[in-house]
Chain A
């Protein structure tokens, strides 16, 4: 009886698997295209570069540094912001901390006092004591404290390039764009088994994929090294304090207004960051991002995007972590089906297709490793590709797990901020090249 029921179910099961495999293959092929976009389009590659000559400083900047329990790194971060090569009278650095976080407040205050003693007076500490305690709330508080023309955000662990404001000053004035997203790059690719894969995700996201989004006027922005004309933030009414990925959300809202966003990923000027130090931290970070994307999807601001293509791209982008999870989790299932269920050869070949795409993704990552390391003057060890190979599927499963966890949290209405710890691993790397042209 059971076996005959199973036999009855086999036909529809195979048909469903074939259809699912084909959809997943198309999705994965599209993702490969997005990953390779900059390398595929000579024009995009050229546009990704920072200007070779900088204009004289003209725009005034507010550098917002939201921090929470960042005692270990906040002083370095403030110093990095102070070290930016831009006239101090045109820059305002605002460290924003929740008033209960006394450790970070004390360390920040300490550094500000040291700086003031040396005549550096453009750094301020701002605190807030109302709910919710999260980054977008901090940003809104800090934004209200400044009148400078351009507002930017750096996270506490960021290693900021000293010429970054020159890059943005020149780009905004030359091209008249109201929003500029510059590159953010994880650097510690050899710290642990998953760090290279994590680093490469950032590499492809900022160097390639965001250019595709910018060209199509539908872009989820990054959380830092993003620069807004203040009128844009005023028009939008600030950041969404209930969203776990306020950066993606504000990007969608800017796209809905039809405002152009310029993406600059120039290996010389990226903001350097670190991968989460533990698997637990990594999962929490990914869960927050995936859930934030789902929140943004549910919020529906993307419906205001002018064209159908943009709306579809928004849905695809915001649901992407979930789709990626499906691919990772589906490959073992499809292989199991091929070997345990009798099916036509053609169906079995179609069920293999997602595995080909996973192999393609891996190979793209491997090539990306050498692109990344040569761009930053690094040299991977011979073991790095092997580590990537062994860690590749487990890493995809981690992403899949985080995406599922995010979906469950969203369905249960749990949306507290799971913070990522920062230990400053990337700051052990070589000093940034000073490359002001």
Chain B
């Protein structure tokens, strides 16, 4: 058996499948891997600062990273435990390393996007290694990495400063640490730590716990360190996660306010981690079993995900089901068990997406590496059954059209042009830059301005700063802003800086009427400037009192 240079010391021991001899990639593993990582960088970095438009959530995480570095707090507003903070703590660490901090790459969110590009390259490397260790196939890893880096769905969301991207990093790191040396307790403790960080970055990583534990169990159950491996992994993960609860407890923000009201006889004016968790758990929308617009799973699948890239979704889902069947049939065999684990990773996250809770369209992000993993595994497995020459032909025949479909398209006039992320004519963040420049040149710095989080850091950090600029979310929800500062009175608002589709977001956030006073301001406002391209529109409005 030929041993790959990058898998030295690993000869297959019955727990993991032994490395395959793959004529298609033999001797080319290193250049192919380096080429793939270069491609991963290129697809994600190319015009990452121009497309897509900065999202509200990106602005929120940059804003919170700014608060970490400048205010030593988790948010410039009241931190309401809506997400655990490990994501923006990591983001803040990255920004702290940059000489010009938030202004290193122009507009402030670009600092975060640069980090996402670096992270994607790391994630691709981890995904390749995970697939390789899981199956013994370098080809599987390279194919998974290729799909993960080329899919337009991935390219679109993985450039954005999203907690999901950071969570994917920790999950892949956790999987890799289990697979890289399952014989050592210390790497398994490291894996538990990484998994704990994944949960503290975004809580939905919890849905992957059974699969990761199953993998750990399969690899260690017959080893001398089985008990320490499993208990150590679990302890480390729980210990890391518990720091979040400890933080809340130390701030006296852990227990439900209702409990304190019951015990003390008056309702406290504070947030509560438990209250937020219960609220999150109670938020329901239609599950995937209810086909139609009421289910966010189908709404996003049909409205956003499939239009962006049906290919990865289709082949990834088909491969997941195929791997599930193959894996269940032959789970006693390490190679088949690996396919089962890959399938379960996809399915576990699909359960999360389909279970019917409130979600946003970028929640698909953690599914993408697992779909790519399953497709890579299934594909490499199939190619292996073919003679080498036939294998090369099949690979070329399938991959070349895929690359073409993912990089160019015919526009409405029937002209061939690059797909949106690579189209030099689409400069959506440029509109936001113009909007910021307009505010800077034309609005007084002491004005009270309501806008969106996407430009928050730019208006608060870069001089002249606008300290009374607040997002409509905080202006409507945080009592410190809505009641103490604005007193829910539209007349206290001077300007509105509207992001794309901001009125839709205000509508969604207005189930209890807390945004009403901002709508009133909108009704009393007139347009000062509009910046638009296609159906993307940004405005600056003056409130007439």
Contact = CB atoms under 8 A, between A and B. Distances in A.
Contact of B250 (A33, A39, A345, A366): A345
B505 interface: no
B239 A356 contact: yes
B225 interface: yes
B185 A39 contact: yes
Interface in A32-65: 33, 36, 39-42, 45
B251 A345 contact: yes
Contact of B186 (A40, A360, A366, A367): A40
A349 interface: yes
15 contacts: A36-B232, A39-B224, A40-B184, A40-B225, A42-B183, A42-B224, A45-B224, A338-B250, A345-B251, A348-B250, A349-B243, A359-B239, A360-B239, A364-B228, A364-B232
A344 B71 CA distance: 13
B227 interface: yes
Contacts of A367: 227-228, 231
Nearest to B235: A363
Nearest to B73: A345
B265 to A, nearest CB: 23
Question: Interface residue tally of chain B, by bracket?
Answer: 10 to 19
Of A45, A344, A345, chain B has the most CB atoms within 10 Å of the CB of A345
B247 A345 contact: yes
A349 to B, nearest CB: 6
A352 interface: yes
- In the A-B complex, the 8 residue pairs with the smallest Cβ-Cβ separation, listed nearest first, are A39-B225, A40-B185, A367-B227, A42-B183, A39-B228, A348-B250, A367-B231, A36-B185
Interface in B218-260: 224-225, 227-228, 231-232, 235, 239, 243, 246-247, 250-251
Contacts of B247: 345, 349
Judged by DSSP, the binding face of A is helix
A238 B239 CA distance: 49
Interface in A356-389: 356, 359-360, 363-364, 366-367, 370-371
Nearest to B243: A349
Contacts of A363: 231, 235
Contact of A33 (B72, B186, B224, B243): B186
A352 B227 CA distance: 26
Contacts, number: 47
Contacts of A349: 243, 246-247, 250
Nearest to A42: B183
Interface in B118-132: none
Contacts of B239: 356, 359-360
Of B185, B186, B250, chain A has the most CB atoms within 10 Å of the CB of B250
Interface string B196-238: 0000000000000000000000000000110110011001000
Given A33-B186, A41-B184, A367-B228, 4 more contacts: A349-B247, A359-B235, A364-B232, A366-B231
Nearest to A360: B235
A360 B239 CA distance: 9
Interface residues of A, number: 23
Contacts of A352: 246
Contacts of B225: 39-40, 45
A34 to B, nearest CB: 12
Given A40-B185, A360-B235, A370 B227 contact: yes
Contacts of B72: 344, 346
B381 to A, nearest CB: 30
A344 B73 CA distance: 11
A73 B232 CA distance: 41
A42 B184 contact: yes
A345 B250 CA distance: 7
Interface string A339-352: 00000111011001
Of A39, A356, A366, chain B has the most CB atoms within 10 Å of the CB of A39
Contacts of B185: 36, 39-40
Nearest to B184: A40
A349 B245 CA distance: 11
A36 B228 contact: yes
Interface in A63-103: none
A25 to B, nearest CB: 12
A348 B185 CA distance: 29
A40 B189 CA distance: 10
A345 B247 CA distance: 7
Contacts of A371: 227-228
Nearest to B187: A40
Interface string B476-494: 0000000000000000000
A358 to B, nearest CB: 12
Contacts of A41: 184
Contacts of A364: 228, 232
B235 to A, nearest CB: 5
Nearest to B229: A39
Interface in B162-189: 183-186
